[in-house]
Chains A and B, each alone.
Chain A
Amino acid sequence: MRDALTNSMRASHVLALVLLAAGLMFAAFGAVTNDTFYLRLATEALIFGGLALAVDILLGYTGLLSLGQAMFFGLGAYVAAVVLIAIPSFWLAFGAALVAGILTGLIGGFIANRVRGVYFALITFGMAQVVAKVIYNTRSLGASDGLIGVPIVKINFGLFAVSSDNPVGFFLFTMAYVGALYLIAAYILDTPFGRLLIALKANERRVPFLGYHATSARLAAYVLAATIASLSGALYPMLRGFASPELLFFATSGNAVITVITGGAGTLIGAIYGSVLLTVIKSYVGSWTEHHLIVIGILFMLVVIFLPNGLMGVVRPWVEKLLARKTRS
């Protein structure tokens, strides 16, 4: 018998496949029509989906609301930008963002995990503010303009290479990259360690009596989320050619939280769906008014009030039932 939580995760995978199919169709369509704008927009949606993934690991699985996850996303972007400007190697930038994510995650986790509940939300918020302002004031990082002039990179896979200025190629690459982040997160969340995080969310107080050191588990979750955010951010300068302090601001962190809640916290794939959905709304509503935030804000409030489990909270149980029926028969 497969247990209920694994079954839910499989349901997320099914929904991920649906999204993958849609993505491939979109890429084909983009290639045929020679589109750049929408492919770039979709690539950006996926990159921010990676940030939302990190927020969901904390909020949806571990029960920690991070209001400063953009700090790691932005750090990843800056680290990648610095590396790429010096040596335009994707793998070097990737490695640097990975190391930066783990290290800053450890430091941030050490600070943030001293407190619980709302205080955790506020301390993550405060940390991100401090780091954002420091970067904003640092001239060698371009201060308020950010780091500009990140060169085009060739991502070399041995057999073939993808260039970051090829809209279709880079979109497909980003889909694979964020898909890999999703799969890694999904895998980890289905191990005993992942279940421990879920237990922390469900009832933190009982966990130590089962023999677990709750603080270490929470720290590990935080580092994982920081790393995923940082690795997502690393793609940003490759897509847009720059890294700016806005990437670390509260608006970015808040947006990731909106994404997760709207897509469905605790489903992982909801983060990606949410990011795609919000990007679609933004560009659709944005085509007739610049005040699309009114629509997004109202949608978000409606979700918080009426659909606390978000979009995937409605869709996924339905897939779960289908899967459960299939395994039984």
Chain B
Amino acid sequence: MIEVLDYLQFVLAPQVVTGLTLGVAVILVALGLTIIFGLLDVINMSHGEFYALGAFMALALSWIGVPFWLLLVLVPLAMLPIGYLVERSLIQRVFNSKDRHVTTLLLTFGFGLVLEEIIKLLFGPNPYKPETPIRGAIEVFGIFIPNYRLFLIVAGGAVIVAVALIVYRTRWGAIVRAAAFDRHMAASLGVPVHRVYAIAFAFGVALAGLAGVLLAPIYSVFPTMGRDFILLAFTVVIVGGMGSIAGAVVAGLFLTQVQAIASLYISPVWSDPIVFGIMVIMLMVRPQGLYGRLGHA
């Protein structure tokens, strides 16, 4: 009996907490992806690089002495104009091409390559390990949780709730949902659809940047950090339903727990194939995912 409790306390619970930390971060990234897809019909292949950009911005700013708390605000704010510009100057150029899905996917893929390489050029290929902004750990129900992870879960969770509230409870969110449901109808009702697109894109990118800031102290910061992470985020978006906010949250929590538990019971190296396998199966049996698309449900 004691062994069982010990096991729960020292082996399983920490793994669940680790999974939860990753879950919250991945949801932040997935939210941006899913909003961009739900609204613009664009699969943003450069999203992982925006996440890396956020982490590197935080790194660079911290070198010149900007405190962590400020980074949490400054980096997403700095990402906004970048995202806005990318949407207006790149995506809008091909937005009305015959096969929007493919063309925008290719374009953002190219942009991601360039962005990643620029980061490499500026910072070199090697990883950086930023200091943890909050040290120590606290004990909750006999489980030791590093303070910073707890902070990440709470702060990230708050942001996720805030995003959901913005989309579902505010006037701005209503505009976004209307534009996602029927862009022509929304446009004829006087919604400045193109500006809404650009803002939503910027907003999604800012969320990725925020995830970068939050995760930098836990994982190291390196130019290709977005690659593996974005695969997980894509999986979350697909399983949850492309364009669904609730889906991203549910699938994000679920898949990161699957990953954490699989790492424990099978092997960490098999957690990725398992998660991607879930994505493939989901695409086979229910391509629209668990939940309906933004503006449609």
- The chain A residues found within 8 Å of chain B, CB to CB, are 65, 111, 114-115, 117-119, 121-123, 125-127, 129-130, 133-134, 136-137, 250, 254, 257-258, 261, 291, 293-294, 296-298, 300-301, 304-305, 308
Contact = CB atoms under 8 A, between A and B. Distances in A.
B107 A304 contact: yes
A297 B111 contact: yes
B276 A291 contact: no
Contacts of B110: 258, 297-298, 300-301, 304
Interface stretch (B18-26, B113-121, B129-137): B113-121
A125 B43 CA distance: 13
B271 to A, nearest CB: 9
Nearest to A63: B99
B269 interface: yes
A123 B287 CA distance: 9
A117 B225 CA distance: 28
Interface of B: 43, 90, 93-94, 97, 101-103, 105-107, 109-111, 113-114, 116-118, 120-121, 227, 231, 234-235, 238, 242, 269-270, 272-273, 276-277, 279-280, 283-284, 287
Interface centre among A111, A291, A297 (most CB of B within 10 A): A297
6 contacts: A121-B102, A122-B238, A129-B272, A254-B109, A294-B114, A301-B111
A111 B279 CA distance: 12
Q: Mostly helix, strand, loop or mixed at chain A's interface?
A: helix
Given A123-B283, A293-B113, A301 B107 contact: yes
B284 A114 contact: yes
A116 to B, nearest CB: 8
Contacts of B117: 291, 293-294, 297
B231 A297 contact: no
Contacts of B231: 129
A121 B120 contact: no
B106 A122 contact: no
A119 B243 CA distance: 13
Given A115-B284, A126-B238, A257-B109, 20 more contacts: A65-B102, A111-B280, A121-B43, A121-B102, A121-B105, A122-B43, A123-B284, A126-B276, A129-B272, A133-B272, A254-B109, A257-B106, A293-B113, A294-B121, A297-B114, A301-B110, A301-B111, A301-B114, A305-B90, A305-B94
Contacts of A258: 110
Given A65-B102, A111-B284, A130 B113 contact: no
Contacts of B106: 257, 261, 300, 304
A143 to B, nearest CB: 9
Contact of A122 (B93, B234, B272): B234
A188 B106 CA distance: 28
B113 A296 contact: yes
Contacts of A134: 273
B226 to A, nearest CB: 12
Contacts of A133: 269, 272-273, 276
What 6 pairs between A and B have smallest CB-CB spacing?
A297-B113, A297-B114, A301-B110, A300-B110, A133-B273, A293-B117
Contacts of B103: 304, 308
Contacts of B109: 254, 257
Nearest to A118: B101
Nearest to A261: B106
Nearest to A135: B273
Nearest to B41: A118
Contacts of A300: 106, 110, 113
B191 to A, nearest CB: 25
Contacts of B283: 114-115, 119, 122-123, 126
Nearest to A129: B276
B105 to A, nearest CB: 7
Contacts of A137: 269-270, 273
B107 A305 contact: yes
A119 B242 CA distance: 10
B97 A118 contact: no
A298 B102 contact: no
A308 B96 CA distance: 13
A121 B238 CA distance: 12
Interface centre among A114, A121, A130, A291 (most CB of B within 10 A): A130
A298 B269 contact: no
Nearest to A127: B280
Contacts of A297: 110-111, 113-114, 117
